[in-house]
Structure 1
Amino acid sequence: MTLSEVVVVGASAAGLTAAETLRREGYTGRLTLIGEERYLPYDRPPLSKQVLKGEWEPERLALRTSAALDDLDAEWLLGREAVGLDVAGRTVALADGSRVAFDGLVVATGVRPRRLPFAHDLTGVHVLRDLDDALALRDALRSAGSVTVVGAGFLGAEAAAVARELGCSVSLVDPLEAPMVRQLGSAVAARVAALHTAHGVDVRCDTGVVGFSENRGRVAGVRLGDGSELAAEVVLVAIGSVPAVDWLRDSGLPVGDGLLCDAFCEAAPGIVAAGDVASWLHPDHGRIRVEHRMNATEQGMAAARTLLGRRQPFAPVPYFWTDQYDVKIQAYGRPSADADFTVVDGDPDQGPFAAVYAQDGRTTAAVTWNMPRQARALRAQVLEREPWPRPAVAHA
C-alpha cells in the first residue's frame, strides 16, 4: 500500500521517533502529529528527577532542536485531544469537532496516571505524568514540610528520593512488601527499601491507603489500612498508569491493556502502535506492554517500518533504569519474582552489585546496582538466553 497521509496521534518520544523513521526511510507524503499537550516533544524521565529537583528547566527537556523538527516537514496539531477513530472512514476525531484524514496511522498516546477513588479534589494532592504535573509538584515541594508518596514503583520511589533530598519529611507507602518489588523481585526490592530508610524516608509497606484527612479543602494527612495516619502537606499519588485508549473504545480496534497488536506492532491494516500504549506479541515473552523510555524509541521505529511494509517482529531486550539518590539501577529483560536470583558480582549488602535471573535453566534478566559496565555485558547473556547456571568447564 502506498501511503500519502500519515497521522501520528501522540507527540512524545514514540510518536516523534515513528515520524522521523518514516521520513528517514523514504516517506514523502503528508505527515501530521497530534498531541494533547501544548508542548513540542520532550523527554519524560527527567520529570521525576532533574525537573522535580529544580536542576533542569523545561527547555532542557526538548527532544529535538527546532531546526530538526522543521526538517520533518510535518503539521503539528498541539493542544488537540483525539477523542475518536473511524477505522472504515480513515479519520481521527478531535475534541474541537474537527477530523483528520489518514491512510496510515500511528497510535502513540501513552498512558494516563491511575488515580485513587477519592481525594484528588484536595489542594496538595498531585499526580505526576506530564510537564505541567512536574512543575506543579516542584512548586509544592519547595515549601512542604511533610510529604507522603502513595505507591512505591519507579515513579514513587524516584519522587520520594527527590523530596527527601530537598529536605522534606517523606513517607513512602505501598501495599506490597517492598518498593519496586514487582519490577525487581524481593531481593533487590529489599535493598531499595534499605536505601530509602538510610536516607531518612519512613517506608510503610504491606499497608494501603484508606482515606485522607483535610483542613479547609487542603490535604492534612493520609490514613493507612493498619490504623495509622501520616501527616502530609503534599501527597503524590503514584499508583501506576492506564493506557490512553478510551478514544479507541468505539473504533472496533482490539483494546485491552493497551491497543492490542501483533508481533509487528500492527493493530489493523494501516494502523500501528508504539510506546506505552502498545500491547504486542513478543516472540520470547508473549503479549506484553512496556512503559519505559528506551522501548518508546525502539518501538516507534519498528511501528513506522511496519507501516511502510518492512515488517519484522519487534523483539527487543526490554531495558529500564532508575536513579535514586546516588544509585543507578539498570535492568535488562523482565525480572520476575519466581525466577532464580543469583548475584554474580559485588555484594548487595555492602555496595555495587550485579545479578542475573534465570528460569528453566536460561538467563531471562539481569540487574545491576551502580555497575553500568557489567550491565552492558549482562545484556548479551539475556539476549542469547544463555544457560544458567553456566556449564562447568571440563579440564584435561
Structure 2
Amino acid sequence: MHVNYARLAAATAFAVVAASSSGALAQKKYDTGATDKEIKVGNIMPYSGPASAYGVIGKTEAAYFKMINDKGGINGRKINFISYDDAYSPPKTVEQARKLVESDDVLLLFGTLGTPPNSAIHKYMNAKKVPQLFVATGATKWNDPKHFPWTMGWQPNYQSETQIYAKYIMKMMPNAKIAVLYQNDDYGKDYLKGLTDGLGAKGKSMIVMEESYETSEPTIDNHIVKLKSTGADVFINITTPKFAAQAIKKIAEIDWKPTHFLNNVSASVGSVIKPAGYENSQDIVSAAYLKDASDPSWNDDPGMKEFYAFMKKDFPEGNVLDGGTVVGYGAARTLVEVLTKCGDNLTRANIMKQAASLKDFKPGVLLPGIAINTSPTDFAPISQLQLIRFKGEKWERFGDIISADVGG
C-alpha cells in the first residue's frame, strides 16, 4: 500500500492550521462597537449648565484613555472615547444616549454623570442591553442587578453616606436641631431618604426644616436665610458644587454657626472650598472614599505618585486640587481593568460579567482600607467611607472606615 506521506503531512498541517484558526475565530467575540483595532466607549457629561463643574471628570477620562492608547491600547485595541454634553438636562441626555447607541454604535456607555440624566436613560439602556457602566452618581437604585442588569454605579451610594452622618449626629449631638437643604430631584431625595432612615423614628423629630431648591435658581441665598431662622444647630447640605460654594459663603456672611455636613459630591477643594473661601469652610464635615490630591501627606503614596505623574504629563491643563480629576482617573482605571479582563470576548454580556466580578481592585486613589468589590448580586463597587473635617486648607480624616449597610 502506497502512502503519500508528504500529502498526509500537508493535510495534517492544514487541519491543524484550520482548527487553530477556527479556534482563534471562536475565541474572538465582538458586539457592535468592538473590533480588532478599537473599542468605542460612549459618555455623557455636563460640560455646560448648572453642573458644569463636573465636566472635568469627562476631560480627565479622555486624557487617561489617550494615555492608554499611546501605550498601545487594551490588548492591542485603541479606546475611541466619544463624549457629549447634555448640560445636566435629562431630555438632552436621552438625545445623546440615542445618538451614541444608534448612530455612533458604541459598545457601552461609561461614566455618564448625574442622577436625573442617568434616570432618564435607565430603562432605555436596559431595553437595548447596552452597558450603562460605572455611572457618575451615587443614587442607590443603580445597585439593582435583578431589574436593571445593564446598569452599575461606581461611587458609594448617597443613602449610605447620609446614614453615616445620621449615626454620627445621634451619637455626638443627640439633641441636635437639624436643617436640611436638598436639590429637588432624585439625587437630593436619595440623600434625604438616607438621612431620615438613619435618624430613625426618634431622630426624625430632630429635623426642624427640609428645604428644597431647583437647579434653575441662580442663587440659594434666600433658602439659607430661611434655614437659619429655624434656630437649627446642624446643617445638612445636599447640593451640587455651584450651590455648595454659595451656601458656604452665605452661612459665613449671615454669621450662622451650625455643625455643617456637606455631601461628598461637593467636597472638592478646587471647585467648592477654595472658591467659597478657606476661612469660611473651617470644620465642615463630609465623608470620603478617595485620597485628597490637595493633601501633601499623600505625596509619597505609590498610587498618588502615579496619579500626579499622569496629571503632569497627560493632563497638564487639569487642576490637581479638583476632586473631579481623582474621580475621573479612578473610574477610568476601573473601566480599563474590566476591558482588559474581557480579553478577546468584547461582548456586552461579558463586559457586565467582568464588571460584576471585581475582587479587591484598587485603582490607586481609594483611601487605605477601601477597595472595589462586585458580584452578580452586588452592583455597588465602593461601599465604604470615612468621615473627614476641613482644617486649614485640607480635609483631615477622623474615625474608622465605615461600611455602609444599604443594599439595592
If each structure's helix is expressed as a fraction of its own residues, which one has the higher value? 2
TM-score range (shorter-chain normalised) is under 0.3
TM-score (norm 2): 0.27
TM-score (norm 1): 0.28
Q: Which has the higher contact order (CA 8 A, sep 6+)?
A: 2
Q: Which has the larger radius of gyration?
A: 2
